[in-house]
Amino acid sequence: MLNKKIIQSAILPLTLLLATTQVNAHRAWIKPSETVLSGEENYVTFDAAVSNTLFVPEHVAYRTNSIVAYAPNGKTLELENVATGKYRATFDLKLEQAGTYRIASASAGIRAMWKDDEGNRKMWPGRGRSAEGETFETAVPKNAKDLRVSYSARRVETFVTLGEPSTDSLKPTNKGLELVPVTHPNDLYATESAEFIMLIDGSPAVGAEVEINRGAMRYRNQPETINLKTDANGKFSVTWPKAGMYFIEVSYEDDKAQAPATKRQGGYSATLEVLPL
């Protein structure tokens, strides 16, 4: 039977999870003003939004209450000067410890679809809604027709480094679809190759679909999208063609979900800065 914590995780807001799994539609992103900083302490400002055009806030602001910042020692930090507008949210992060910081938002839950006796399609949780305290057992009829249940996990993140890069904050949680850097995410340079490993619940995400896009898409005619697949070890590599802010988006699906779900889905995205040599 599905772990109660997984069922209860559907109580978490799934609006963002559903809105950002539309392929080639809205993308959720957290973009730092810069990713590599010096000094004994410093500040970074972040923009966060869900948009059609990468890094152009023109659809809806990201919900900052789901964003957590992790210091190099693993402790969580307070987001400062949080403000939410119509199309984007902004916040500051004070860096007081040398090393790499991880800024991430993660959500997970189950979703059920079925038909009632009149043939009308039903969904739980409803589109754009949370489970509101209900459980799968209380919300879905035991004799539901054409029942389809999936477990979905979504992670959106970025990384910044003060001084010397570190790796403690990059360790996977083994929950959902995650990126494990082989190449440090704040040590990326144009024309050089970088390697990453994708995990699904701690195991290699074999055959995951990877899409990589450079920002400033509105200023060029060609999207220049890089499409890749992870290998038998969940690994993929990319050679960065140019410097700039990049958006990595990864999707994964298999039939290894815990009951009552029959399908397991993972979504992952990250904003990475590639520097000129």
Domain positions in the chain are 4-108+150-274
Q: In this structure, which topology does domain 4-108+150-274 adopt according to CATH?
A: Immunoglobulin-like (2.60.40)
Q: What is the pLDDT of residue 92?
A: 98
Encode pLDDT of 207-235 as tens digits: 999 999 999 999 999 999 999 999 999 99
Q: What is the pLDDT of residue 137?
A: 83
pLDDT at 144 over 80: yes
Lowest mean pLDDT among 24-33, 51-60, 122-131: 122-131
The residue type found at 275 is L
How many Å apart are CA 110 and CA 7, to the nearest integer?
Answer: 7
Within 52-98, strands assigned E span 60-61, 67-70, 76-77, 80-84, 89-95
Q: How far is CA 31 from CA 56, 74, 175, 215, 234, in A?
A: 10, 21, 23, 11, 25
Q: What is the pLDDT of residue 129?
A: 66
234 backbone φψ class: left, alpha, beta (φ>0; ψ -120 to 50): left
**Helical residues (DSSP H) of the chain, grouped into ranges:** 4-8, 15-19, 136-139
Higher pLDDT, 72 or 128: 72
pLDDT at 15 over 60: no
Q: What is the pLDDT of residue 132?
A: 66
> Per-residue confidence at 13, pLDDT binned at 50, 70, 90?
very low
Q: What is the pLDDT of residue 6?
A: 40
